[in-house]
Amino acid sequence: MLFKKYLVILPGIVLAFVLYSLSQGFNNIIGIELLGYDKSPISTAMIAILLGMLFGNIFKIRDNFVKGLDFTQSYILKLGIICLGIQLKPFEFLEFGAVAIPLIIICIVTVLIVIKLLIKKLKIPTRMAYLISIGSTVCGTTAIMATAPVIGAKKNEVSYAIANITLFGILSMLIYPYFANYYFDAEPMFVGLFLGTSIHETSQVAAAGLIYDQQFNSPETLNIATVTKLIRNTFLVIMIPLFAFLYNRNNVVKKNYSILAIFPYFVIGFVAMIILRNIGDQFFLNSYNNLWIETVDIIKSSSKVFLTMAMAAIGLSTNLRDLKSMGYKPFLVGFIGMATVGLVSILSIEFYINFLN
C-alpha cells in the first residue's frame, strides 16, 4: 500500500529526468558538434527550463505527471541543494555568511518600505501586496504559501502572487547571470552575492548559479549564491511572525503557523554535507584517497542532475496563460519589487567593495 502511494510520483520524476537528458543532448549537439567547443558554453539548466516551458505551454500536462513534477520541484530540488554542500568547507560558509546577512537585511527592509508605499499609490489589495513583498524578499513561493494563512489571503490572491513571483523570478534567473558577470567583472564573490540576494525562489537562485557555473566555469559562484539564498530562507522564521503582527493589528486572523513548521530544514542538510566534506578531507584523503575523491565527484555531479531536473519540472509547470487574468497592477508591483531588490543589492555590494578598498 505504501509502495503504491509513492508509485504515483514516478511518472513525473521520469518525465523530468527525460527532459534533463534531452537538454543535455541538445547542449552537446549545439555546443560541441555545431560550435566546435570541447565543452559546451551553453547551460544545460537554461535549456531544461526553456524546453520545459515550451512543452508545458504547448501540451497539456496529464494529471498522472503532476504529483511527480511537484515532488521534483520540492524534494529533488532540495536534495540537489543539499548535495551542493559537498563543494564547500566550513570556513567558506562562515565567510560568505558574514557578508551576506547585512546585505539580505538591507534588501528586505528596502523592498518592504517600497511596496508599502505602492499599496497606497496603486490601491491593490493589502494581502496581495504582502504576499508579493515577502515572495520578493525572502524565498518566493514557499514564503507566499507560508504567509497566506497567517494574513487570511484568498486563493486568487495567492495564485496571483505566485504567478507574479514566478514570472519575474524566471526573467531574473535567465538575465542576471550574464548581467552580473559583466557588471561585477566576473568576480565570483560579488556575482554570487548578487544572484543570492536579488532572485526570488531558491530554485531560481540555484538555476542562475548553475547557469553561471556552466557558462563561465565558476562553481565558486554557484556555492556563494546558494549559501546566500539559504541564509535568506532562514529569515522566513522572522518575517512570518512580523507579517502576522503588522497585518493583524487591524484585522483578526487566527494564528495558524508555527516556527518549527516554517523553518527550511534542508538548510541543515546542506550544512551537514559541508561538515561531511571537511571530515572526509581530514580522515579519508590519506587512507582512501581515490575512493573519497570519486565519492565527492559523484555527489557534485548528482547535485547538478537533481537541480536540472527540478528546473525542467518548474518549466513544465509554468503556465503562461494563467498570467493574463492578473491585470497590470500586481505585475507593476512585482516588477518594482524585483527592480528594487536588484538595485539595492548592487548598491550594497558596491558600498562593500568601496569599504574594502
pLDDT (0 to 100) of residue 248: 64
Assigned domain for 165 exists: yes
Out of 134-148, 164-178, 233-247, the most confident range is 164-178
Q: What is the pLDDT of residues 55-105, one digit of tens each?
A: 888 888 888 888 888 898 888 888 888 888 887 766 666 777 778 888 888
- The total domain count for the chain is 1
Residue from 175, 122, 168 nearest 338 by CA: 168
Q: Model confidence at 290, in pLDDT bands (50, 70, 90)?
A: confident
- pLDDT higher at 274 or 346: 346
Q: How far apart are the first and last CA of the chain?
A: 63
pLDDT (0 to 100) of residue 325: 63
pLDDT (0 to 100) of residue 249: 60
Assigned domain for 343 exists: yes
Residue from 250, 153, 267 nearest 202 by CA: 267
Q: What is the pLDDT of residues 185-210, one digit of tens each?
A: 989 999 999 999 998 888 788 888 98
pLDDT (0 to 100) of residue 18: 93
Which pTM does this prediction carry? 0.75
Q: Model confidence at 286, in pLDDT bands (50, 70, 90)?
A: low
Assigned domain for 199 exists: yes
pLDDT tops 90 at residue 179: yes
Assigned domain for 3 exists: no
Question: What range does the domain containing 249 cover?
Answer: 8-356
pLDDT tops 80 at residue 43: no
Q: What is the pLDDT of residues 15-40, one digit of tens each?
A: 999 999 998 888 888 767 776 656 66
CA distance 243 to 42: 41
Q: Which residues contact 76 (CB under 8 A, 6 or more apart)?
A: 13, 16, 306, 309, 310, 313
Assigned domain for 1 exists: no
pLDDT tops 90 at residue 176: yes
Q: How many CB atoms lie under 10 A from the CB of residue 322? A: 14
pLDDT tops 70 at residue 111: yes
pLDDT (0 to 100) of residue 80: 85
Q: What is the pLDDT of residues 250-283, one digit of tens each?
A: 554 455 555 566 666 777 888 888 888 888 887 7
- pLDDT higher at 148 or 247: 148
pLDDT tops 60 at residue 138: yes
Residue from 201, 196, 238, 226 nearest 109 by CA: 238
- pLDDT, average across residues 331-346: 85
- pLDDT, average across residues 111-130: 76
Assigned domain for 49 exists: yes
Assigned domain for 203 exists: yes
Question: Mean pLDDT over all residues of the chain?
Answer: 80
Assigned domain for 2 exists: no
